[in-house]
C-alpha cells in the first residue's frame, strides 16, 4: 500500500526533470533572439578583430621577410665589397713590393755606379800621384846620378841636355832590365 500511495502522489505531482511546454517555448524563443543578436552584432566584431589581428600578423611577417631579404642583400654587398677591398689591398701590396724591389735595384745600381766612379777616380788619382812620384824620382835620381858621375869621372857634367839624355838612357836601361 505504501507503494500505491507513493505512485498516486507521483502521478499528481509534476516531474522536476521534465520542463513544462511553456518554458520550452519561451526558452526556444529567447535562444533564437539571443542567437540572432549574437550573429548580427557580436560575431562581426569578432571577425573584424580576427581580420585585423591576421593582417597585423601577416604585415609583421611580410615586414620581417622584407627586412631579412634586405639584410641578406646588405650582407651580400658587404661581403662583395670586402672581397673587392681585399683584392685591391693585395694588388696594392704586390705593386708596393714590385716598386720596392725596383727602388732597391735602382739604389743598388746607383751605389755600384757611385762605387765604380769613386774607384775610377781613386785609380786616376793614384795613377797621377804615381806618375808625379815617378817624375819626381827621375829628377832626383838623375840629379844624384849626375852628381855621382861627376865625382867619379872627375869632370863637370853641367850641360843640361847631356845630363837629361844620360839620365833618361840610364832609367830606360833600368826599366828594360826588370
DSSP code, position 16: T
Per-residue pLDDT reduced to its tens digit, 118-174? 999 999 999 999 889 888 877 777 777 767 766 676 555 566 666 677 777 777 877
Q: Are 146 and 166 in contact (CB under 8 A)?
A: yes
The C-alpha atoms of residue 123 and residue 116 are separated, in whole angstroms, by 10
Task: Specify the long-range contacts of residues 106-109, CB closer than 8 Å, at least 24 apart.
Answer: none
More confident residue, 16 or 38: 38
Confidence of residue 37 (pLDDT cuts 50, 70, 90): very high
How confident is the prediction for the chain on average, in pLDDT? 84
Please compute the mean of the pLDDT values over residues 102-124 and round it to a whole number: 93
DSSP code, position 159: -
Q: What is the pLDDT of residue 175?
A: 76
Q: Could you give the percent of the chain with pLDDT greater than 90?
A: 48
Amino acid at each position: 500500500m505504501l507503494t500505491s500511495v507513493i505512485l498516486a502522489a507521483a502521478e499528481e505531482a509534476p516531474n522536476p526533470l521534465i520542463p513544462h511546454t511553456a518554458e520550452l517555448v519561451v526558452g526556444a524563443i529567447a535562444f533564437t533572439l539571443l542567437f540572432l543578436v549574437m550573429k548580427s552584432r557580436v560575431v562581426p566584431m569578432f571577425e573584424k578583430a580576427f581580420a585585423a589581428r591576421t593582417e597585423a600578423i601577416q604585415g609583421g611577417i611580410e615586414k620581417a621577410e622584407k627586412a631579412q631579404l634586405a639584410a641578406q642583400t646588405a650582407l651580400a654587398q658587404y661581403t662583395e665589397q670586402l672581397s673587392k677591398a681585399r683584392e685591391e689591398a693585395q694588388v696594392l701590396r704586390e705593386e708596393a713590393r714590385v716598386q720596392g724591389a725596383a727602388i732597391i735595384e735602382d739604389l743598388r745600381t746607383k751605389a755600384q755606379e757611385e762605387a765604380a766612379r769613386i774607384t775610377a777616380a781613386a785609380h786616376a788619382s793614384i795613377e797621377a800621384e804615381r806618375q808625379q812620384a815617378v817624375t819626381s824620382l827621375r829628377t832626383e835620381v838623375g840629379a844624384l846620378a849626375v852628381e855621382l858621375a861627376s865625382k867619379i869621372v872627375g869632370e863637370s857634367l853641367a850641360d843640361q841636355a847631356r845630363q837629361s839624355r844620360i839620365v833618361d838612357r840610364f832609367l830606360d836601361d833600368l826599366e828594360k832590365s826588370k
